[in-house]
Chains A and B, each alone.
Chain A
Amino acid sequence: DAMVIQNPRYQVTQFGKPVTLSCSQTLNHNVMYWYQQKSSQAPKLLFHYYDKDFNNEADTPDNFQSRRPNTSFCFLDIRSPGLGDAAMYLCATSYTGVLHEQYFGPGTRLTVT
């Protein structure tokens, strides 16, 4: 089945230690998104890629970076995680065109100790 895959599902990192979360998709969608979802809150868009074009939300901290080496993969890098960065990180994909559906992966739960 075509799907959005996130690894790992659970990640523990230390305060200030860089961490990378990964997302892959078999849907062949040209847009990929990263969302942050804190406990009992709604998902909040951090940035998205349209093909190789990176688009940052204005209020996304500089501590968050992303890479998309090819159509299928996208990475979220947190350069110096703080306690406030503990959250669920969700990857989503969509295909530009008439349809706007975004399909989400299962998420990575990040804990910062």
Chain B
Amino acid sequence: GENVEQHPSTLSVQEGDSAVIKCTYSDSASNYFPWYKQELGKGPQLIIDIRSNVGEKKDQRIAVTLNKTAKHFSLHITETQPEDSAVYFCAASISFTGGGNKLTFGTGTQLKVEL
């Protein structure tokens, strides 16, 4: 089955700096790569995603890149703010035959933005 590795497990940055989180996946059949932000005691919130036919996508301060050949994808957050502090999960998705898709999550990155 799919295996997703995520690094680093913890990341501390100063407010205004950039943060980068990297993931690798193993199954070339994965075709969709979402990123989720999870605050303490809450469900994961989809913040950005990228499909396998796209190399880069940007939404305001957040960007994702995908290298299908190397099976790498990354999340970039610029101009970090204290409210960006949370756990971030990457995921790789494979479509189910009957409908829907299976998300395999990375192990998570605890991002702390310090004042």
- A residues lining the B interface (CB < 8 Å): 4, 6, 30-31, 33, 40-45, 48, 50-51, 53, 55, 90, 94, 96, 100-107, 109
Contacts and interface: CB of A to CB of B under 8 A. Distances in A.
Task: Name, among A31, A45, A50, A100, the residue most crowded by chain B CB atoms within 10 Å (CB to CB).
Answer: A100
Contacts of B95: 100
Main secondary structure of the interface of B (DSSP, over half): strand
B46 A103 contact: yes
Given A101-B46, A106-B43, A42 B101 contact: no
Interface string B36-50: 100001111110010
Interface of B: 32, 34, 36, 41-46, 49, 89, 93, 95-96, 98-103, 105-108
Task: Name, among A30, A45, A51, A102, the residue most crowded by chain B CB atoms within 10 Å (CB to CB).
Answer: A102
Contacts of A107: 41-43
Given A42-B106, A100-B32, A101-B34, A94 B46 contact: no
Nearest to A108: B43
A4 B84 CA distance: 23
A1 to B, nearest CB: 14
Q: Closest 4 A-B residue pairs measured CB to CB? A: A50-B99, A42-B105, A31-B100, A104-B43
B43 A109 contact: no
